[in-house]
A and B are shown apart, each in its own frame.
Chain A
Amino acid sequence: MPNTDRVPVTVLTGFLGSGKTTLLNRILTENHGKRIAVIENEFGEVGVDHELVIGAEEEIFESNNGCICCTVRGDLLRILGQLLKRRDRFDYIIIETTGMADPGPVAQTFFLDEDFKKQFLLDAIVTLVDARHIEQHLDQMDEPGQQVAFADVLLLNKTDLVTPAELERIERRVRAINGTARIFRTHNADVPIASVLDVGAFDLTRALAVDGDFLEPQYPFEWAGAYALPAGEVTLRTGAADAHADHHDHGHDHDHDHDHDHSHDHTAHDHDAHGHEHAGGLSVVLLPLADGSAASLDAAIEQAVRAFAEPAVAVECGGAVAVAPAGVHAALQIDHDGSAFAFRLPRAGHWAVFCEHAPVEFGLRLQGFEPSSQRAFASHHHDEEIASVGLADSRELDPARVNDWFSHLLQSRGADIFRMKGVLSLRGEPRRYVFHGVHMMFDGQLEQPWGARTRQNRLVFIGRNLDRAELEAGFESCVAR
């Protein structure tokens, strides 16, 4: 079906006070030449001054397939049904949900009915986050996490009300929940309109932008730094005791262009530990490097992965460890109030430190030394109930097995999987198979040929209590033999 016939629909979610109405008013007043109808589920703090506003009372129905998670919004079904009675359609529809809304039923409404699919195209879910209150909200309620998890576009709004360090921490946390959303930092919901409208996040015919750092292989470490160190003892410290002294000393440029598709440059500056439990200690690997360059550090990644798989030397708080010429894997028994560990180096030179978690979470540093280069890796926080899991694999898949896996997955885990999307390389098929899903609602089709592009499967799951190992095993069962 031609896309041009379908009216795009953007869903705007976010807690009360996050700035939905501000964004909406900006969209409506900007001169973009579109005739936009707005469906509002509550009266905003600031009224929307627009003649095409439709008021609606949120109403959730279970769809008739007997699945508890297949809920749709009855009010939207009726309203969109009525809007179909126009010959001159609106150019665009924006649905502003209530602050407490679960975006699931809204999104599923667009999957339910073939008539709707012909007429409306869910463009994207845009979630506004009040930077000042989001952490508290995430800790206390379910809905904010759901709204973040469902988002295709996330606006970290009201950034002027938090410190840069807080903002880093918030973005890390939000990114851990949703690894694929495009994140914008805004003061007053001031993003280019093109970033929130006509995004095409649910359009299978558009190239799926399944990007984001979580699609990298999941490394057992979150951070690495290269140091030039003397032979003998160096002290690795944790804790916030004198952390503020080197707070701004990283000499590391935060070039946030307000478009955080790639967050490799995020070395968060916060000093608040996330409260991880490290029963086995904090894993740290030291490896010798050829030089202090970033390339040299990257070249050590594979070796570091192997080292992390080796048994670790347990080091008590205040203890010391002898570093072998080939390096060491140490499990540091850190004390959150501050601890020190002595590393005895066999020779002077460039050394890489790979750390299980981001150093900022523990105030971890090598006393007296700064890294000559450093790199952050995908966060694998396990403290968020809702998180993203990305898989990338270039082996061809067996379509029948994929079908079995998805059927099983949606039936058994549909309630927990908020969003899924991906591109698959199927054996014997020159075209890419693209899919997306919301809970148990699933849409997939064959799209453009791979052509010169490297055939690679890329899948993303965002949901609650997702088990990476289970998803990997499921994927493995689909590989064509």
Chain B
Amino acid sequence: MAASRDHAVLDPRAALTLDDYVVSAAWAPDGSALAVVGGEGRVFRIAIEGLDRRGARLSAAAAGSHAIGGLAAVWSPAGDAFATSGQDNTVVIREALSGAARATFRPGMAWSEHLAYSPDGTQLAVASGKGLSLWSRDGTLLQRFAAQPGSVAALAWDRTGRELGAALNGGMLIASRAGVAKDADKGECFVTRQLKWPGQCLSVAWSPNGRVLASGVGDGSVHFWYLGTSRDSQMRGYPGRVNLTSWSGNSRYLATNAANDVVAWDFSGRGPEGSKPIVLRGHTEAIDCLAFQPGGSYLVSAGRDWRLSLWLPGKAAMALDAHLTDAEASCLCWSPDGNYVAVGERKGKVTVFALSRSG
């Protein structure tokens, strides 16, 4: 293969600076806007224009606030709404275009730190401390699961939307669709099962092909469950807790954070057991953000060294491109089409990069 085919850069297209720490950001499914919550609780809707060319423009509009601080922002894949949560213990579902509140609710006593829309946008999963609940697009409670022994550390739907995974201290809780309940206006009901593992699971990563569920673990390992089998295994030897896990679009590579390095496991052939991982070196401080391109093979990482790196695991040992941010990156997300990356920083800067492939 020609090296030039792999050459790619992150091309900064537009940026703006918000008056707040960027805690969480989410793309609208059509790539036309970003929803952002800040550390002091402000909610912004950032409109994006002309990304496909030079001279792209970001414009932020205030869209409400959460008292004390913001926690999470997610955009419904259906495109009609985005949801934010804050330290005031509320979750707010907001209209996609105006940001106006459609519904406000308090799912529990603890903060709702993790939000996840089902792929069809009909269910919003909310993890509030030890509580897990599902809400409709209008903010009606659909189902509340029994309280867990510990807090939910991460939440993610599988690609089909049939299953929801919640990372716990002690394994993974899986909620699966179990048909339409008799109480039909509540929609489908979910049943839960546990994938037990005596460790503090910190992330949920479903492989896009549906075969593997991976989780970073607090004891410095990554755990895998081979779905549809009773097999599970783990990779140890990390220098510290692993809380970032991301799959490449073809389900071949699982990227994880190992202090200052990115470690990727190759699931081709016989899988990663017994193999040496791909270690991507370049960051000089801890990595806080890590995400594979949706449906693709490019990987972006950002760390406390104020560096943003673009990788192509398995093809290039070195970063393809790197940029210095103005402060530590605090969040990073790819546009759903995989063509753009938005990076939020602790000091409020939001930059949108285009993935630009040459050759």
Interface residues of chain A, those whose CB is within 8 Å of chain B, are 37, 43, 51-52, 54-57, 59, 61, 64, 74-75, 78-79, 82-83, 85-88
Distance in Å from the Cβ of A65 to the closest Cβ of chain B?
A: 11
* Chain A, residue nearest B19 (CB): A87
Determine the distance from Cα of A55 to Cα of B110 in the docked complex, in whole angstroms.
5
Taking A51-B67, A74-B151, A86-B40 as given, write out 20 further A-B residue pairs in contact, using a Cβ cutoff of 8 Å, ordered by the A residue number. Answer: A52-B68, A54-B87, A54-B89, A55-B109, A55-B111, A56-B111, A57-B109, A57-B129, A59-B151, A75-B129, A82-B69, A82-B71, A83-B69, A85-B21, A85-B23, A85-B346, A86-B21, A86-B39, A87-B21, A88-B40
Distance in Å from the Cβ of A51 to the closest Cβ of chain B?
A: 6
Q: Can you list 14 A-B contacts with CB-CB less than 8 angstroms, sorted by A residue number?
A: A37-B68, A43-B109, A51-B67, A54-B68, A55-B110, A56-B109, A57-B109, A64-B218, A78-B113, A82-B69, A85-B23, A85-B330, A86-B40, A88-B40
Contact of A61 among B129, B200, B346 (CB under 8 A): B200
- The 9 tightest CB contacts between A and B, nearest first, are A85-B39, A57-B129, A55-B109, A85-B21, A57-B110, A86-B39, A57-B130, A59-B151, A86-B40
Determine the distance from Cα of A320 to Cα of B21 in the docked complex, in whole angstroms.
82
Determine the distance from Cα of A56 to Cα of B200 in the docked complex, in whole angstroms.
19
B101-131 CB contact bits vs A (8 Å, 1 = yes)?
0000000011101000000000000000110
User: Using Cβ atoms and an 8 Å threshold, which residues of chain B touch A85?
Assistant: 21, 23, 39, 69, 330, 346
Given A55-B109, A64-B218, A86-B21, CB of A78 within 8 Å of CB of B346: no
**B295: Cβ under 8 A from any A Cβ:** no
Determine the distance from Cα of A74 to Cα of B220 in the docked complex, in whole angstroms.
17
User: Using Cβ atoms and an 8 Å threshold, which residues of chain B touch A56?
Assistant: 109-111, 129
Distance in Å from the Cβ of B208 to the closest Cβ of chain A?
A: 29
Determine the distance from Cα of A37 to Cα of B21 in the docked complex, in whole angstroms.
19
**B169: Cβ under 8 A from any A Cβ:** yes
Determine the distance from Cα of A83 to Cα of B241 in the docked complex, in whole angstroms.
21
- CB of B89 within 8 A of CB of A59, answer no
Given A86-B39, A87-B39, CB of A75 within 8 Å of CB of B21: no
Determine the distance from Cα of A59 to Cα of B150 in the docked complex, in whole angstroms.
6
- CB of B130 within 8 A of CB of A87, answer no
User: Using Cβ atoms and an 8 Å threshold, which residues of chain B touch A43?
Assistant: 109
User: Using Cβ atoms and an 8 Å threshold, which residues of chain A touch B241?
Assistant: 64
**B95: Cβ under 8 A from any A Cβ:** no
* Chain A, residue nearest B21 (CB): A85
Determine the distance from Cα of A86 to Cα of B39 in the docked complex, in whole angstroms.
5
User: Using Cβ atoms and an 8 Å threshold, which residues of chain A touch B169?
Assistant: 61, 74
The B interface, classified by DSSP as helix, strand, loop or mixed, is: loop
* Chain B, residue nearest A74 (CB): B151
**B219: Cβ under 8 A from any A Cβ:** yes
Determine the distance from Cα of A85 to Cα of B113 in the docked complex, in whole angstroms.
14
Determine the distance from Cα of A79 to Cα of B130 in the docked complex, in whole angstroms.
14
Name, among A61, A79, A86, the residue most crowded by chain B CB atoms within 10 Å (CB to CB): A86
Determine the distance from Cα of A78 to Cα of B200 in the docked complex, in whole angstroms.
14
- CB of A57 within 8 A of CB of B151, answer yes
Distance in Å from the Cβ of A37 to the closest Cβ of chain B?
A: 7
Determine the distance from Cα of A260 to Cα of B287 in the docked complex, in whole angstroms.
51
- CB of B111 within 8 A of CB of A79, answer yes
Contact residues, B60-78 vs A (CB, 8 A) = 67-69, 71
Distance in Å from the Cβ of B285 to the closest Cβ of chain A?
A: 12
* Chain A, residue nearest B113 (CB): A78
Determine the distance from Cα of A64 to Cα of B113 in the docked complex, in whole angstroms.
23
User: Using Cβ atoms and an 8 Å threshold, which residues of chain A touch B130?
Assistant: 57, 59
Determine the distance from Cα of A37 to Cα of B40 in the docked complex, in whole angstroms.
13
Contact of A86 among B69, B129, B150 (CB under 8 A): B69
Distance in Å from the Cβ of A187 to the closest Cβ of chain B?
A: 31
User: Using Cβ atoms and an 8 Å threshold, which residues of chain A touch B109?
Assistant: 43, 55-57
User: Using Cβ atoms and an 8 Å threshold, which residues of chain B touch A55?
Assistant: 89, 109-111
User: Using Cβ atoms and an 8 Å threshold, which residues of chain A touch B67?
Assistant: 51-52
User: Using Cβ atoms and an 8 Å threshold, which residues of chain B touch A54?
Assistant: 68, 87, 89, 111
User: Using Cβ atoms and an 8 Å threshold, which residues of chain B touch A82?
Assistant: 23, 39, 69, 71, 87, 111
* Chain B, residue nearest A79 (CB): B111
Distance in Å from the Cβ of A3 to the closest Cβ of chain B?
A: 23
User: Using Cβ atoms and an 8 Å threshold, which residues of chain A touch B330?
Assistant: 85
Name, among A52, A55, A56, the residue most crowded by chain B CB atoms within 10 Å (CB to CB): A55
User: Using Cβ atoms and an 8 Å threshold, which residues of chain A touch B150?
Assistant: 59, 74
Distance in Å from the Cβ of B35 to the closest Cβ of chain A?
A: 17
Determine the distance from Cα of A74 to Cα of B129 in the docked complex, in whole angstroms.
10
Contact residues, B83-108 vs A (CB, 8 A) = 87, 89
User: Using Cβ atoms and an 8 Å threshold, which residues of chain B touch A52?
Assistant: 67-68
Determine the distance from Cα of A64 to Cα of B111 in the docked complex, in whole angstroms.
25
* Chain B, residue nearest A83 (CB): B69
Name, among A55, A75, A79, A85, the residue most crowded by chain B CB atoms within 10 Å (CB to CB): A85
Determine the distance from Cα of A55 to Cα of B69 in the docked complex, in whole angstroms.
13
* Chain A, residue nearest B149 (CB): A59
Determine the distance from Cα of A83 to Cα of B21 in the docked complex, in whole angstroms.
11
User: Using Cβ atoms and an 8 Å threshold, which residues of chain A touch B113?
Assistant: 78
User: Using Cβ atoms and an 8 Å threshold, which residues of chain A touch B110?
Assistant: 55-57, 75
Distance in Å from the Cβ of B146 to the closest Cβ of chain A?
A: 14
* Chain B, residue nearest A60 (CB): B150
Contact residues, B189-227 vs A (CB, 8 A) = 200, 218-220
User: Using Cβ atoms and an 8 Å threshold, which residues of chain A touch B40?
Assistant: 86-88
User: Using Cβ atoms and an 8 Å threshold, which residues of chain A touch B129?
Assistant: 56-57, 59, 75
Determine the distance from Cα of A57 to Cα of B241 in the docked complex, in whole angstroms.
22
Name, among B20, B87, B113, the residue most crowded by chain A CB atoms within 10 Å (CB to CB): B87
B239-279 CB contact bits vs A (8 Å, 1 = yes)?
00100000000000000000000000000000000000000
Determine the distance from Cα of A52 to Cα of B68 in the docked complex, in whole angstroms.
6
Distance in Å from the Cβ of A71 to the closest Cβ of chain B?
A: 12
User: Using Cβ atoms and an 8 Å threshold, which residues of chain B touch A75?
Assistant: 110, 129, 151
Determine the distance from Cα of A82 to Cα of B111 in the docked complex, in whole angstroms.
11
- CB of B71 within 8 A of CB of A64, answer no
User: Using Cβ atoms and an 8 Å threshold, which residues of chain A touch B200?
Assistant: 61
Determine the distance from Cα of A449 to Cα of B175 in the docked complex, in whole angstroms.
62
* Chain B, residue nearest A40 (CB): B109
Determine the distance from Cα of A37 to Cα of B129 in the docked complex, in whole angstroms.
19
Determine the distance from Cα of A91 to Cα of B151 in the docked complex, in whole angstroms.
28
User: Using Cβ atoms and an 8 Å threshold, which residues of chain B touch A78?
Assistant: 111, 113, 151
User: Using Cβ atoms and an 8 Å threshold, which residues of chain B touch A86?
Assistant: 21, 39-40, 69
User: Using Cβ atoms and an 8 Å threshold, which residues of chain A touch B23?
Assistant: 82, 85
* Chain A, residue nearest B147 (CB): A57
- CB of B219 within 8 A of CB of A64, answer yes
User: Using Cβ atoms and an 8 Å threshold, which residues of chain B touch A59?
Assistant: 129-130, 150-151
Determine the distance from Cα of A82 to Cα of B70 in the docked complex, in whole angstroms.
9
Name, among B67, B151, B219, the residue most crowded by chain A CB atoms within 10 Å (CB to CB): B151
Determine the distance from Cα of A61 to Cα of B219 in the docked complex, in whole angstroms.
12
User: Using Cβ atoms and an 8 Å threshold, which residues of chain B touch A37?
Assistant: 68
User: Using Cβ atoms and an 8 Å threshold, which residues of chain A touch B71?
Assistant: 82
Determine the distance from Cα of A75 to Cα of B151 in the docked complex, in whole angstroms.
8
Determine the distance from Cα of A82 to Cα of B129 in the docked complex, in whole angstroms.
14
Determine the distance from Cα of A85 to Cα of B110 in the docked complex, in whole angstroms.
18
* Chain A, residue nearest B346 (CB): A85
User: Using Cβ atoms and an 8 Å threshold, which residues of chain B touch A87?
Assistant: 20-21, 39-40
Name, among A57, A64, A75, A88, the residue most crowded by chain B CB atoms within 10 Å (CB to CB): A57
Distance in Å from the Cβ of B235 to the closest Cβ of chain A?
A: 17
Name, among A37, A52, A56, A87, the residue most crowded by chain B CB atoms within 10 Å (CB to CB): A87
Determine the distance from Cα of A447 to Cα of B200 in the docked complex, in whole angstroms.
39
Contact residues, B315-359 vs A (CB, 8 A) = 330, 346
